[in-house]
Each structure stands twice: as C-alpha cells, then as structure tokens.
Structure 1
Amino acid sequence: PYFDGNNYSHWKAKMTIFIQSLDYNLWDLIVDGPNLPTVILENGDLVSKPRNLYDDNDRKKVQINAKAKHIIICAINSNDFNRISSCVSAKEMWDRLEVTYEGTNQVKEAKISMLVHEYEMFTMNENEDIKSMFSRFTNIINALQALDKTYSNSEMVRKILRKFKKFLPNKKKFGGNPNKRIHQKGEASKLEEIICFECNKPGHYKSVCPRLNKK
C-alpha cells in the first residue's frame, strides 16, 4: 500500500495487515522495537555495537530491522521519507508517522473521544438510504480502529440493528376484548338447548342466571 499523504488511517490499517501477512515477526519488531545490538563502554555508556563486532545473532537482529524499514520506506511519499529517513529503527519510523498524522497521545485521545461520541449518537439521517447509512457507520468504526479503539462485533450489530427499527413492520393492534370467547359454529344451537333450573329459560346455566344476580 502506498501512502500519498492523504487518509493516513486508511493506509495504516492496510499497511498493518500487509506487514503482518509478510512476516508477523516484522510487525512485532515495529510495535515492540528491534532490540538492536549494543555494547557498554568503560565509562558505563550504552552505545550501538560496531559492525565488526557483530555475531550471527546480531546480524539477524539488524537484518530484520532493515527489512522492516525497507517496507515502510517503499510505501511512503518523498515528504514523509524526509521525515523518517534519519530514524534508526523501523519502530521509530512508524511512531513518527503516527505522531505526524495522529498527533500526540493527548491529541489521539481527543480524536477518540470525538469519534466515540459520533458512534454513540449515530442515527440515520432523514431521506438517507441504508447503504449510505452503513457507509457512514463503517467510516466511524474504521477511524476508531485506526486509533486502537475497537468494539466487538455483537456491539456493532446491536447498534446498527437499532437503526433499522423504522423499517420493521409495526405489530397490528386488534380491537375488541382478547379474552372474549368466540364461539364456533354449532355452539349457539347447543346453548339454546340448555335450560336454566332457576328461571326455566333457555340459553344459560343456573350459575350465571340473571335472576340470581338480582337477589
């Protein structure tokens, strides 16, 4: 992936996957540092180890750092190359690009707070179609991920589904008493055959006779 100076978060996400796919050890080196060969002088100072003193293990460390630097340098424009060309390690290069385009930790936290607010308050705009809404939502998520702020898939699914409620059909409300019994055909004639022992009239039992209610 080539970075032309625009849309750093997009390039960073693609570059991360690209480096990890080549060799995950390279990515570990960029994140954690290369642990380059050093020696301690007689006065106690820690300095880079001279090349003529390298052993095989030292050369492996230097080689993998050079490989990571090469990948980063080949993926950036000339202006950014000038910014990071003096860096000794690939980690320094990566960190300097982050500070340049994402800012310091304080600036980064401010950006995260702003994006989290957008995420929490996200809603579908009037006359907006589903495709456009989902695209806006994805842009917010990608920007947060580039700043190392992530949400679980279940959280994102619940969030987006709540925005689809307006497209779901409302439950129909039926009038009338739901507890009212609806008689099947033939039941009316059966009721007519019933004779009340209280009033001797057809159509009901003694227990529900209107005459008893009047007493």
Structure 2
Amino acid sequence: MFFMADKLPFGDDAFINRPPLFCGVNYQFWKKSQWTEHESKKAQYDCIAKNIITSALSFDEFFRVSQCESIKEMWDTLEVTHEGTNNVKKARKHVFIQEYEMFRMQKEETIAEVQNRFTHIVNYLMSLRKIFEKEELNIKILKFLDRS
C-alpha cells in the first residue's frame, strides 16, 4: 500500500488549530483554509480553554461535553446541566430566599449545624448574585440561636 504522507497539506508539527502548511499540492484547498490572524488567535484560545476545562472534568462530565464544537458550547452545556436554565435559577433563588427569611434553629440542632445550614443558604444566594451586608447576616444568625 502506498501512502503519500509527504504530499499531505500539513507538516509533521501541524496543529488542528492552525491552517495547513502549503507544500505545492492542492493549492485551492490550501487557499480556502487560510485563517486571518484573528481567527488563528481565536482558535488557539479556544483550544487552550478546552484543555483547561476538560482537564478539570470527571469522565462522565467529559463525555457530556466531548462532542461540543467550541468552548462556549461546552460551558453552556455544563451550566445548563448543573445550574439549569434562567427560569430554574430564578425558582431556586426564590426557594432559597424563602429559606433565608424563614430561617430558625431546629430542636436538637447544634450551633455548628445551624451555622453550616445558614452558610449553605447564604453562599447559594450569593452565587446567584444576592448581596448581603455582614451586619445583616450576623443579626440574622444571632437572632435565631436557641439560648438553652
């Protein structure tokens, strides 16, 4: 079997994120594949970002996004999968706001458990861009600690 590896329109060190090298064959293909400097940089950044994201994913998460064409598509897939759509985010935010407003220490709950539960609620709301004053949080937690 005869391979024309030396006639391929890319060199040994070719990258997927850069245009193929012209070796005198297939000029029409090579001409159409030339990238502008902006396109080349964009492809390079996209490749770097994909590597960063995929290196931080478990196998299941990697396979969820492995067929995505761009980093934006990967990010959007992960975001919708784990945070939900904007409507889901709004609904969750309202649930956590209600939990925050109705926050009380439960019977038989230790102070550490109260603090953990309160911190979880506040951190979730802050991740959804709810802003709290430190004084407000301190007063809220102190107000509902059981004095017994």
- 1:108-159 CA distances to partner (integer Å, 9 max, x unpaired)? 1111111111111111111222111001111112222333434333332221
1:51 CA displacement: 5.5
- Of 108, 116, 122, the residue aligned with 2:97 is 116
**Distance in 1 of aligned mates of 2:137 and 2:68:** 39
**CA–CA separation in structure 2 for the residues paired with 1:63 and 1:148:** 32
Unaligned runs of 5+ in 2: 1-31
What is aligned with 2:80?
Answer: 99
Rounded Cα–Cα distance in structure 2 between residues aligned with 1:98 and 1:59: 27
| Aligned-partner Cα distance in 1 for 2:33–2:134 | 49
1:146 pairs with one of 118, 127, 136: 127
Where does 1:51-90 land on structure 2 (aligned, <5 Å)?
A: 52-55=34-37, 57-90=38-71
Equivalent AA in structure 2 for residue 87 of structure 1: C
Structure 1 pair 118/74, CA: closer, same or farther in 2 (3 Å)? same
* Whole-Å separation in 1 of the counterparts to 2:129 and 2:72: 17
Q: Normalising by the residue count of structure 2, what TM-score does the alignment of the two structures yield? A: 0.66
Structure-1 separation of matches of 2:67 and 2:60: 13
Structure 2 CA distance for partners of 1:152 and 1:84, relative to 1, 3 Å:
farther
Change (3 A) 1:65 1:148: farther
Change in 2 beyond 3 A, CA 1:159/1:85: same
Structure 1: segments with no counterpart, 5+ residues: 1-49, 169-215
1-side partners of 2:144 and 2:106: how far apart?
10
Query: How many residue pairs were aligned?
Result: 117
Checking the alignment, whether the CA contact within 8 Å between 1:141 and 1:150 is kept in structure 2 is no
**Of the two structures, which has the highest relative contact order with CA contacts closer than 8 Å and spacing of 6 or more?**
1
Distance in 2, matches of 1:104 and 1:110, equals: 10
**How many angstroms apart in 1 are the aligned matches of 2:42 and 2:67?**
19
Alignment of 1:186-201 (within 5 A): none
Greater Rg, structure 1 or structure 2?
A: 1
Cα distance change of structure 1 residues 92 and 157 upon mapping to structure 2, 3 Å threshold: farther
The answer as to whether partners of 1:112 and 1:144 remain within 8 angstroms in 2 is: yes
> In the TM superposition, what is the alpha-carbon distance from 1:62 to its structure 2 partner?
2.4
1:167 aligns with 2:135: no
- Deviating beyond 4 angstroms after TM superposition, the runs of 4 or more aligned structure 1 residues are none
